[in-house]
A and B are shown apart, each in its own frame.
Chain A
């Protein structure tokens, strides 16, 4: 019987120890929901340290959810520091502009402040999102423009046009049709079901592109490892250039230090990839 007491005591002590090692962090937030009816022809977001989510829907109105968030070990301080988060959602002519910023002296702010912006908008309207230090998610729109630094980007289902500029921000692109233009600096690119006429300018990182349409697909990489994933190698013609790198083809061929021009008689699309000091890999699904 003593052994059970001993085990129970050990468990209690262990539990108390782990509780003592933890610290309680208080998260204070405020929810602000706004709706905008007709008269808006585009949405612009300027976010700073914000999590931005933009979703297209079938409704005709625009719904904006704004949530400033303050985290602190001290509950009262977390609540008090919410005042340093400034945000607005205002119509400027036909443009709905949503923005946030942090105002106040840095040494005064002891809480970890951030902002959550969630927008539901008609899928036909174009959206332009700029965010610094935070994740951005965009889905189900006709036209989207995203400028993201020191964050991350996920875009799904764009039907007409998509323009992306990133810096130190990995991106995930799914089902992009129409036209896609990417300028990515030190950002990994993962694309699936890419059918858009695509131009990707990128430096460093990796670009893994699953292509499935006619394209054309152009990648101008500066020291970027590029992988093109196709259903069937014969579906495309290729122009591949990788000075100081290797071109790897699905049949096992490896071409070094010379360009590869591959023409297939029944090719439905064209893949044009240039990079340097890194490999270009063409693989099949």
Chain B
């Protein structure tokens, strides 16, 4: 009726897609590595330049002069405005471009499919946990129902227990590897069989 854990696992593994990268990819990676190595080698050969004495003092003096008078210089204001506008524009451009630049996979097409999830009506409550049907059956059998002693009743009870066990096994599988339509459909079949068996047991008790 339902597949074992190993069978389901094997099937799911077979369903996984395989990916072999293009040979060009290795060449591209090697070229990038070579460039990095070359930059490292040339860094130590770069010439050193020192600013002329008094340069920093000159810059400092030109910055402090307008503030001291209590009004910032118009040229500095314009420069600040220009810098702020440029920075904002750069940030916007970066935000728009980053998603296109960052590609984790090459040659893989990713499509999004919207599959509606399961909806359980707000008026429905699955309160199966509230009352254990098995406990209820045992309780009914305590009141001397002769049907509880019959072979047919025992067989149905055994069937119910086996179905319950199978259902728990599937729940374990779902918690370990997640669900799939096939597993859920097995759950549905077992739930329906359980429900039918339970109602047959009640009928036998009433007979």
Contacts and interface: CB of A to CB of B under 8 A. Distances in A.
A152 B199 contact: yes
A156 interface: no
Given A203-B126, A223-B118, A49 B199 contact: no
A109 to B, nearest CB: 5
A201 interface: yes
A112 B143 contact: yes
Interface stretch (A56-64, A89-97, A120-128, A270-278): A270-278
Given A49-B140, A106-B143, A133-B140, A222 B115 contact: no
Contacts of A259: 116
Interface string B120-134: 110110111000010
B146 A257 contact: no
A149 to B, nearest CB: 8
Given A112-B205, A150-B202, 14 more contacts: A72-B144, A73-B146, A106-B139, A107-B142, A109-B144, A112-B146, A168-B195, A170-B199, A186-B195, A206-B192, A223-B118, A243-B115, A244-B184, A277-B118
Contact of A241 (B116, B121, B140): B116
Contacts of B184: 223, 244, 277
A276 B205 CA distance: 34
B119 A274 contact: yes
Contact of A169 (B128, B147, B191, B199): B199
Interface of A: 23, 25, 49, 51, 71-73, 81, 102, 106-107, 109-114, 133-135, 150-152, 167-170, 183, 185-187, 201-206, 220, 222-223, 241, 243-244, 257, 259, 274, 276-278
B54 interface: no
Given A168-B199, A204-B188, A241-B116, A183 B124 contact: yes
Contacts of A278: 185, 188
Going nearest first, the 5 A-B pairs with the smallest beta carbon separation are A201-B121, A110-B144, A276-B118, A186-B195, A112-B145
Contacts of A135: 206
B196 to A, nearest CB: 8
A243 B114 CA distance: 10
- Interface residues of B toward A: which range? 35 or more
B65 interface: no
A133 B204 CA distance: 11
A201 to B, nearest CB: 4
A71 B146 contact: yes
29 contacts: A23-B146, A49-B206, A51-B206, A71-B146, A106-B139, A106-B143, A109-B142, A111-B143, A133-B140, A135-B206, A168-B195, A168-B199, A185-B126, A185-B127, A202-B124, A203-B120, A204-B188, A205-B192, A205-B195, A206-B192, A222-B120, A222-B121, A223-B188, A223-B191, A243-B115, A243-B116, A244-B181, A276-B118, A277-B188
Nearest to A277: B184
Nearest to B117: A243
Interface string B84-121: 00000000000000000000000000000001111111
A113 B143 contact: yes
A169 B199 CA distance: 7
Given A72-B144, A106-B143, A243-B116, A186 B121 contact: no
A133 B202 contact: yes
Nearest to A150: B202
A49 B205 CA distance: 10
Nearest to A71: B146
Nearest to B137: A150
A243 B187 CA distance: 16
Nearest to A104: B143
A171 B136 CA distance: 21
Question: Taking each of A23, A107, A183, A201, which has the highest tally of chain B beta carbons within 10 Å of its own beta carbon?
Answer: A201
A33 B85 CA distance: 93
Given A168-B195, A170-B199, A204-B188, A222 B133 contact: no
Nearest to B183: A277
A257 B185 CA distance: 15
B112 to A, nearest CB: 14
B8 interface: no
B124 A201 contact: yes
A150 B133 contact: yes
Interface in B160-207: 181, 184-185, 187-188, 191-192, 195, 198-199, 202, 205-206
A71 B143 CA distance: 10
B166 to A, nearest CB: 15
B174 to A, nearest CB: 13
